[in-house]
A and B are shown apart, each in its own frame.
Chain A
């Protein structure tokens, strides 16, 4: 999270190019939306028991389990002017890159407003966006092979949330790449990268020293603190 924000600041200040970032979480972690309550959403005792981190994002949306071997996380950080002005339209715009990436794996996915991507009616990707000082940051997850039982043992899923979908089991709400493709997680990342970079000029790179140092500072002073993570 600190890295995403550090890049955002550098893009804002003209010190970094528009950036697309792919990453995985080590150790695995649960992230919650900026307006959610950590206590209400996350079984923090179970997380500690399993060595799973928990963190509040700067973006809205719901809780996500970032399983080290079960999902790929992405971030898109670029000037707002490069995207449709409307928030809803810009979700569709970026989610189309994910859909395109999944397509190269032979997976037909579709955008489900506000911020989800579905395969055969089940969620395979969730996305969240913020805009700060002229910069758009959207990050999201693409589920590769999530251990759904483990995921729901870490989250306190509200019965209210699933009631209107008339689904008996929360496990029936999500799916993953491995259910439709034999691609490895690395191949999934490659496919996503193709989808995200299609039609764009790009170069692969790494964080600048300045970005890394700011990311560490943000991790230490914000994202690793109870004051931030338990602020709601």
Chain B
């Protein structure tokens, strides 16, 4: 299935997710007008999320994102790992 969801983070930026999934995420693109330093961390976050259930608990998804951020010494500005996780879950709900 393919799905899309987006949300405006309160006091922050817009984040959206393009998802292709079955029981697990097959491919994902995280889009938006947020900032991430270094930018190269985003494809690494997307890669780390492949194989995760898009309906997993928010903490599980955001934990994976936070881990990649920490490993890359990366800083996410205008959006949070939780907000990305929520958007992924919204995308999965959208096609239920």
Chain A residues with CB under 8 Å of chain B are 33-37, 40, 58-63, 87-88, 114-115, 128-132, 158, 160-161, 163-164, 232
Contacts and interface: CB of A to CB of B under 8 A. Distances in A.
Contact of B33 (A36, A129, A130): A36
B33 A60 contact: yes
Given A35-B30, A40-B16, A232-B29, A163 B35 contact: no
B35 A87 contact: yes
A160 B31 contact: no
B7 interface: yes
Chain B interface main SS type: strand
B33 A40 contact: no
A163 B9 CA distance: 11
Contacts of A132: 38
B33 A33 contact: yes
A156 B16 CA distance: 14
A160 B14 contact: yes
Contacts of B55: none
User: Of B6, B18, B34, which is in contact with the most chain A CB atoms at under 10 Å from its CB?
Assistant: B34
B47 interface: no
Interface of B: 6-8, 10, 12-14, 16, 18, 29-39, 42, 75, 77-78
A36 B32 contact: yes
A61 B33 contact: yes
Given A87-B77, A158-B14, A114 B8 contact: no
B44 to A, nearest CB: 13
A160 B39 contact: no
B77 A36 contact: no
A115 B77 CA distance: 10
Question: Which are the 10 A-B pairs with shortest beta-carbon distances?
Answer: A62-B33, A60-B35, A161-B14, A37-B31, A33-B33, A160-B8, A164-B8, A161-B8, A61-B33, A114-B78
